[in-house]
């Protein structure tokens, strides 16, 4: 007992910065009931688990991200004023102050606030927040998915308070600069895939290219797509922990007409390009008569695609010096004109806190709409988390069993793994990878192509 007391006193009285920080961490964990064991099977992921990506997200990454956003706004003030008007100078001060308060709320594990600024999704978000249990309304006790989505909705709400900044995309510069850097890569891919014939092998190639294009997620990593990715797709197969691309091909080729494919997009830029390329192949190969793209209604998780990003990319292609990009833009615009491609109406469900098992209840019209498709492809890590509801399933549990009834049609997930949630993997895969590298699940070096098939009868099809 004496030795323990002595040790505690020494730590309290020390001037060692590392020891002081350690004591602060210990007190924070005790105050906020942080659990030192990892999440159990079927537990909801949460920052209350010390040994989780959720904990490190709200302890370090999110405060650092908000600090960087504040610095960005301060540095870019002249450009923002030029774009948004002189009054933006005053609105920026209030916005930065609000972002600093939000950062402090996370650091101090404050309770979520209801939204006050009127927007199309304000009532639904407030209903969602009120429906959370009392122990699920703080950053470190909430379901990780809920807190993550709430963070980005709060940021948007802060910008909505000012008239001059309400339409400003505070992530826009990062998204556009990322596209500029990969223009040569996109040109090379267009050259290498020009006129490729209908075949299972070619379809799998483009499906996997769309999956690996998710590699460059600005909310997780600054690393973009490999500049030779299109030449090395076969080498990437070793890092594809689950590959059901042949099942996706079989499902599409056996689907009853009319065949639609929905793509729920993730990142703008290169990933959107790969999604458009996959869509073009699906149309030209006669695998579907229509491809429908779903994008985010508001700036979301830094690099997620909005309608503005979609339009900007086509304009970027149209004006680029590479003729291959010009031609691609022309073809995409042609698909949009003849409705082979549809950019779906804005839906705030994709930027809500709900996981997808709640879609039928919360947004029945959207559920019916995607039910028209023979296949819906969900892109990226966040969509994957929403499919699984941030539940810590056993890694070997079948993908279809983890959807908790969400199957409006055949559901495909194309996901580069960037968080500690997974399913449908071979036995011992997670254990083996964790032994090699305890942080393998956040590096973006592994991916999955998974599908839950739902065969439609002709009477199920809504035209």
Q: Are both 265 and 125 inside the same structural domain?
A: no
Count of C-beta atoms within a 10 Å radius of residue 67? 13
- Euclidean distance between CA atoms 209 and 234, whole angstroms: 10
pLDDT at 459: 45
Tell the residue number behind the tokens 């900044």, with chain if given.
Answer: 165
State whether 257 and 216 are in the same domain. yes
Instruction: Indicate the pTM of the whole model.
Output: 0.94
Strand partners, 343: 293
Judgement on whether residues 73 and 142 belong to the same structural domain of the protein: yes
**Distance of alpha carbon 84 from alpha carbon 295, whole angstroms:** 24
Name, in order, each residue with C-beta under 8 angstroms of 18's C-beta and a sequence gap of 6 or more.
none
Tell me: do 176 and 75 sit in the same domain: no
Domain boundary (113, 133, 160) is at 160
CATH code, domain carrying 233:
3.40.50.10880
Indicate whether 166 belongs to any domain.
no
Q: What is the pLDDT of residue 231?
A: 78
User: Domain of 150?
Assistant: 30-160
Share of the chain above pLDDT 90, in %: 87
pLDDT for 13: 56
Q: What is the pLDDT along the chain (463 residues), one digit of tens a residue?
A: 443 433 344 444 567 888 888 999 999 999 999 999 999 999 999 999 999 999 999 999 999 999 999 999 999 999 999 999 999 999 999 999 999 999 999 999 999 999 999 999 999 999 999 999 999 999 999 999 999 999 999 999 999 999 999 999 999 999 999 899 899 999 999 999 999 999 999 999 999 999 999 986 555 444 545 566 777 788 889 999 999 999 999 999 999 999 999 999 999 999 999 999 999 999 999 999 999 999 999 999 999 999 999 999 999 999 999 999 999 999 999 999 999 999 999 999 999 999 999 999 999 999 999 999 999 999 999 999 999 999 999 999 999 999 999 999 999 999 999 999 999 999 999 999 999 999 999 999 999 999 999 987 654 554 4
Residue 152 domain-assigned (yes or no): yes
Say how many domains are in the chain.
2
* Domain closes at, from 130, 160, 190: 160
Burial label, 1 (beta-carbon count in 10 A; 0-12, 13-18, 19+):
exposed
Count how many residues are written for the chain: 463
**Same-domain status, 125 and 214:** no
């Amino acid at each position: 007992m004496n030795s323990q007391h002595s040790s505690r006193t020494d730590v309290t009285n020390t001037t060692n910065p590392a020891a002081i920080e350690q004591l602060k961490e210990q007190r924070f964990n005790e105050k906020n009931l942080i659990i030192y064991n990892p999440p159990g099977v079927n537990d909801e992921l949460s920052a209350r688990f010390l040994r989780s990506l959720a904990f490190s997200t709200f302890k370090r990454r999110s405060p650092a991200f908000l600090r960087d956003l504040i610095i960005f706004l301060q540095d870019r003030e002249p450009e923002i004023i030029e774009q948004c008007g002189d009054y933006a100078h005053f609105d920026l001060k209030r916005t930065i102050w609000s972002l600093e308060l939000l950062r402090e709320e996370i650091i101090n594990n404050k309770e979520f606030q209801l939204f006050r600024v009127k927007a199309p999704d304000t009532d639904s978000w407030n209903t969602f927040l009120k429906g959370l249990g009392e122990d699920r309304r703080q950053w470190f006790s909430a379901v990780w998915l809920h807190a993550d989505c709430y963070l980005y909705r709060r940021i948007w709400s802060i910008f909505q308070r000012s008239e001059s900044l309400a339409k400003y995309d505070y992530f826009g510069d990062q998204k556009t600069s990322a596209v500029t850097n990969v223009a040569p890569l996109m040109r090379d891919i267009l050259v290498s895939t020009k006129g490729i014939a209908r075949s299972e092998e070619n379809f799998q190639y483009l499906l996997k290219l769309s999956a690996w294009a998710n590699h460059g997620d600005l909310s997780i990593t600054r690393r973009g797509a490999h500049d030779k990715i299109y030449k090395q797709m076969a080498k990437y197969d070793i890092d594809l922990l689950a590959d059901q691309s042949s099942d996706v091909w079989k499902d599409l080729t056996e689907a009853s007409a009319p065949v639609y494919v929905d793509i729920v997009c993730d990142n703008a830029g290169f990933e959107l390009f790969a999604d458009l390329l996959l869509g073009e192949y699906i149309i030209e190969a006669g695998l579907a008569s229509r491809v429908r793209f779903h994008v985010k209604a508001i700036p979301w998780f830094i690099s997620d695609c909005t309608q503005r990003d979609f339009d900007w990319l086509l304009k970027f292609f149209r004006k680029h010096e590479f003729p291959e990009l010009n031609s691609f833009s022309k073809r995409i615009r042609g698909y949009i004109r003849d409705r082979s491609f549809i950019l779906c109406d804005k839906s705030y469900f994709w930027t809500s806190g709900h996981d997808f098992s709640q879609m039928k209840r919360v947004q029945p019209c959207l559920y019916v709409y995607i039910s028209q498709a023979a296949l819906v492809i969900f892109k990226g890590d966040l969509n994957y988390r929403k499919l699984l509801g941030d539940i810590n399933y056993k890694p070997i549990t079948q993908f279809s069993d983890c959807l908790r009834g969400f199957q409006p049609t055949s559901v495909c997930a194309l996901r580069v793994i960037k968080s500690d949630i997974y399913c449908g993997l071979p036995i011992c895969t997670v254990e083996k990878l964790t032994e090699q590298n305890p942080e393998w699940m956040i590096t973006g070096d592994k991916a999955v192509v998974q599908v839950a098939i739902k065969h439609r009868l002709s009477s199920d099809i809504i035209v």
